[in-house]
Structure 1
Amino acid sequence: MALEEQEKQSRINASTLQTEIHVPDQSLPAVSAGKNTSDKTLTAFGAAGIDIDRQNSRKNNEPSENKIDSAHSDSITGVDLDKSTNSKSPERRDTADNSYTLEQLKERNKQLERLSLLKRCEGVVMANYDWLDMPDYPDNAGIVYARRRRDAWIVSCVILFTIFLFGAFGYLPAWIAGSALGALFVLLSLWVDVVRDLLFTVPRYSELMQERRKLEFRALHHIRLLEGNDGLVWKFTDLSEYNAALAKPQYQAIMLQSRNKKLFRYLKRKAHIRLYLMLILEAEKAYSSLKTQYFEKHRELQARGVDDLPAKI
């Protein structure tokens, strides 16, 4: 009996121990499950926080990106506008040309031809008419008279010197030889400018010829400046429409020499320089008529809304 009671008591103790042991075993999973649940909850909250931070950072970065995109789009739009403007600017005049009638286009082309002719012949207004006219140029009568006086002076000196020689060798009386020597001395003194200016005011032959050469050189130098390297008067050929006098043969000959760059072989005398001056005068008349006609037509076309100016002036 005692043994049975001890066995029962031992069984009860064993069951009690098992229950005590099983209770912690059952509680441990719960605790571990609770820990896992808390860890998962913390992980979920951390992930949610990270997602929230990322969303906030994205929201904060979105305005800058939007600004960059907007600025980039604006720059692209500006470039496109510039390209469109630049692409359209050369076509403006073509569009305007297409809007004109055939008669207006003819008038506009005629105006462009007039303007081009004005530019080519603008050198005519630079001519110095006093230098080309040479109003102080000694005339032929004055040259002939001065030459005669010079020849008479030379002959007189030779005669007086011959008389003096005959008297020195005894062929003539001494008083004749002395008188001839005195007269020769007086004539030779007239060669001095100071003495001659006291007695005479008429210029000498050498002075007149020097004045001629000076005026001719100045006129030819001025013509050389007017002509330049390309020539000038040959461009007046188209001006004959506005002045029929330019179609004369003598003027056409000068224009031909100017075109061939042989004009200065032709201009050798005053008559040639005067002919060149007359050509310049006739060309200036035609140039003035062309200029007046151009501006009158320009005002008329502007009033009608027609642009007669070239694309590049």
Structure 2
Amino acid sequence: MGRKQRTRAATAVADAGENPRRPCPCGSGKRYKNCHGAGDDVIVIRPFEGLAAEPDLIAMREFLPSATAELPLRGSDGDPVTLASVLPGASAALVRDTGEQLLGMQVQTRSGDLSADLAGALSWARTAEAGSSLPVVGPSTRTSERLQDLLDPEIPLEVTLHRDFSWWLTGEPDAEESAALERANSVILPTDRVDAPGVRAAYWVDTGTKAHLRWVRPEPEDRLMAALARLSERGQLELSEDSKYAGSFRAHGLLVPVWDLDREMHSSEWAEPAATFAARLDEALSGIDDEPLTVAEHRARDVLAGKQITLR
């Protein structure tokens, strides 16, 4: 990765003296000492790679309006830590008067590595005074750790969706808090998780004019696009006759396919179609290595690639 390609200043991980021969987490393929550890500023394209919670973290970062989840910390001997889609004031972290520690996902970033930012926010919360908040993670709060060093890599998040932001409050709000709560609640889009066998990190959302299914997929982009192209060529890309594949967006190294849905249907009615599609997709993915794409499937892949955008 050349200097002209490094578009934002960031400190991605540990000091260069810590295990300098390990692979750099930016994904360059270089050793840490020859890449990030050499002092270059980098953006980590896939900051949550290696964690079962990766799709959940991306959903909370990018499009879940009001959601919380307890972090599955390794050997958690300390107090539990709650991850939130967004905290009051878009804070990076806060410690309530009760001592409860919360980290925010939808925050301003000053680093190219969200994983390191979250680890820094957690480090701050562990020692912060009750009733304090951290507006943004900066050099003074960042540590040598990343989220991968702190979480159990095998445990996904159990995300709880909230209809509003009333969980922000622990007591009777004052006038300023009430106004902030009202503003936050006014922009929430109705969102539900689609629960079904083989389905994870899939969410129904009503934008007011359309309903969508947004599904964070854990597969590498090339494999997923090939499988989707195969399904497209077979006429099997839709969830049902009441849906239409709209495209996908990239977020933090993963693809998020999106379908337009019939707004008249309840979110729960999409569980069975999603499960059926998941089975079709798994079958298509399993054959990618053994059976190359046909010419027609390559054309379908090119069409699908034209419906992609990149968020992060």
Q: TM-score range by the shorter chain?
A: under 0.3
Which structure's residues are more often helix, by fraction? 1
Using structure 2 for the length normalisation, give the TM-score. Answer: 0.17
Higher-RCO chain (CA-CA 8 Å, sequence separation at least 6): 1
Which structure's residues are more often strand, by fraction? 2
